[in-house]
Amino acid sequence: MVKDAYWFILPLLGVAAVSLYFGLTILLIPCLVLTLFVAFFFRNPDREIPSDPSLVVSPADGRVIRIEKTQSGLTRLSIFLSVFNVHVNRAPIGGKLVEQIYRTGQFHLAYDDRASVENERMDLTIQAERQISFSIIAGVVARRIVPWKKEGDTVAKGDRIALIRFGSRVDIDLPDDCELMVKKGDRVRGGSSTLARWK
C-alpha cells in the first residue's frame, strides 16, 4: 500500500473509533467500509517486469479503450483506469526522464475523447536509444497526480513513477517502429503487460 493512503485511512479510523466509543453503529460501519476501500485502492503490488529490451510495457493497469493514429503519425493507445484498478503508474521503457510537464485543465470523464487534450494531466517523455511519450490524465473523480520521479531522473522499465488518485486515464504514443501487441478491449497490468515490441 502506498503511503498516500494514510492521509485518508487515519481520519477514517479516527471517526470509526469515536463512533465505536459512542455506540454510533450507523456511522461506524460506513467508516470501516471506506477504510477497506481506500486500502484496496492504494494497493501497490510487485510486478514481474519483462527483461526483453525490445518490449514496451504498459504504464498503467486498466482496459484499452482507444487505439488511433495521431496527426504526427504515432499510434496513441488509451488505457482507462476504474476505481478498482491499481493506480500506481510505471515506466513503459527504461531511460532518462527528459520531460515532465504538468498541465492544468478540465475534468471530463476519462472515457471522453476530450480528456486526452483538455483534461488536467502530466506529460512525460523517456529517452533511451528510442523515445516514448505518455500522459497521465485526471478524470472526473481523479483530481491529483502525484509524481514520484522528476525530470532528469534515470528510470528502469517498470519502475514506479507516479500515482493518480481514483478513476483516470493514461495515453501512450507509440512510434512507427513499434509493433502493437494489444487490441481495443484488452485488459493490461502496469509494468508486466506488453503493449508493443520494437521492430
Q: Can you list the positions of beta strands (E) in the chain? A: 55-57, 62-69, 75-81, 88-90, 95-103, 121-127, 131-138, 145-147, 154-155, 160-164, 168-174, 178-180, 187-188, 194-198
Short-list 53, 54, 44, CA closest to 89: 44
Rounded Cα distance, 86 and 88, in Å: 6
Kindly state the cell numbers that stand for 31. 467508516
Q: Which of 19, 78, 135, 168 is catalytic?
A: 168
Catalytic residue status for 168:
yes
Paired with 16 in beta bridges are none
Short-list 51, 58, 48, CA closest to 92: 58
Q: Which residues are catalytic?
A: 168
